[in-house]
A and B are shown apart, each in its own frame.
Chain A
Amino acid sequence: MNKRNMTLGIAVSFSVLMAGCASTPQDNAKVDEARAAYDEIKNDPDVVRSGDRQLSDAREELTRAENLLDEGAEIVRIEHAAYLANRHAQIAGEQGKHAELQQQIDSAEERRKELELQMRANEAQQARREAKELRLQMEAMQAEQTDRGMVLTLGDVLFDLNRAELKSSGESTVRRLAEFMNEYENRRVRVEGYTDSTGEASYNQGLSERRAQTVRDTLVDMGISRSRVETKGFGEQFPVASNDSSGGRQQNRRVEIVISDEEGNIETREN
């Protein structure tokens, strides 16, 4: 009798306690959500590779939530485990995404390096091509080896009669010279102006000086350091042909570009 009562008492206290712990729905939205979050990423290779730890935490919490649900545990406990499961799954998903992005970064980095190499190769190739072209141009411009060094004679193509402003065709000639100087950075030049003997000698002297300075200013505008360009006006001096004929005078109206040696030295011409 006594014993029976005791047993009953135990059974009652059992069920009361169970009821106290649980208010039991069989389904729980939070657990479903967590399961969905876990299922979504559990087979993602990026996640498996790099979010492994979080993935197993998610699995563990999800299992706990499901067990608690089956046991009819307190809803706050179930949902707490579901919350943690859901978050772990989300974190694992982010780590997977991050790993995938990191891979993109790595391969892009490689592509960028290749491109940079290719560009440098292209630049070198282009520089060689340009250097060759410039040498050909120098030859085409008929730079001559003289006792003053390499001398480039620019006929009266640079300027109009009695003017000191470059013609546009003259400008492109000077541009070629600037390119040459960019290519050969140790070289300096002296720009020498010459005229024919028509008109006042002093006027011709001034004109030849202004023209030489115009060529220098144009070179400087094209990025050549001023210190690499000397100017000199020789006026009517040093004719290369007779001033008696128009053909001879045309030859005498000229600008000569004297190119320095590799140390930047230029032979001076005494007047």
Chain B
Amino acid sequence: MNKHTSMLGAAGVISIAVLAGGCASSVERPDGKLQSAESAVEKAVSSGAREFEPVLLNEAQNRIADARELIEQEQYLEARRQLEKASVDAQLAGARADTAKAKQAVEEINNSIESLRQQVDQRQ
């Protein structure tokens, strides 16, 4: 009887622990996330995000800076979220920069086609 009760008690403790763990998942230091966020920013910069998407790029960089402070304060969960956001912000900034550059390239090549066509027409 007594034994049974204590087992139930143990089950209760375990379920509490499991639920608590589910609620505040990953309290690990998000060093990997920090790295990938930083490399996402680097990649965005090399795509020309500083020129084409400075606001979004800046946002990503601010999130990384915030995350560093949160890590200092051992608020790993919130730091991790900031870093995940920073990564996708930076990726989007880079992707938009790529698109913008491609648009420019289309414009340039169309202009050169237009001027070639004019030259061809003139000569005929």
Contact = CB atoms under 8 A, between A and B. Distances in A.
**Binding partners A and B:** yes
B39 interface: no
A190 to B, nearest CB: 34
Interface string B91-112: 1100110110011011001101
A138 interface: no
A126 B123 contact: yes
Contact of A80 (B84, B99, B106): B84
B111 to A, nearest CB: 10
B40 to A, nearest CB: 11
Contacts of B113: 108, 111-112, 115
A9 B91 CA distance: 48
Nearest to B96: A94
A108 B102 CA distance: 12
A102 to B, nearest CB: 6
B8 A17 contact: no
B8 A7 contact: yes
Contact of B106 (A3, A105, A119): A105
Interface in A155-180: none
Interface stretch (A85-93, A224-232, A235-243, A244-252): A85-93
A108 B116 CA distance: 12
A10 B112 CA distance: 76
B95 A119 contact: no
A104 B50 CA distance: 25
Contacts of A123: 123
A187 interface: no
A10 B15 contact: yes
A122 B109 contact: no
Contacts of A118: 120
B27 interface: no
Max chain B C-beta neighbours (<10 A), residue from A13, A87, A126: A87
A3 B5 contact: yes
B84 A116 contact: no
A30 interface: no
Given A115-B120, A119-B116, A84 B15 contact: no
Contact of A88 (B9, B22, B88, B120): B88
Contacts of A20: 23
Contacts of A7: 8
B39 to A, nearest CB: 15
Nearest to B81: A80
Given A94-B92, A105-B105, A118-B120, 7 more contacts: A10-B12, A76-B81, A90-B95, A97-B102, A101-B105, A108-B106, A112-B116
8 contacts: A6-B9, A10-B15, A84-B84, A87-B85, A101-B103, A101-B106, A108-B109, A115-B116
Interface of B: 4-5, 8-9, 11-12, 15-16, 19-20, 22-23, 81, 84-85, 88-89, 91-92, 95-96, 98-99, 102-103, 105-106, 109-110, 112-113, 116-117, 119-120, 123-124
Closest 8 CB pairs of A and B: A87-B88, A94-B95, A101-B102, A10-B12, A17-B19, A115-B116, A108-B109, A21-B23
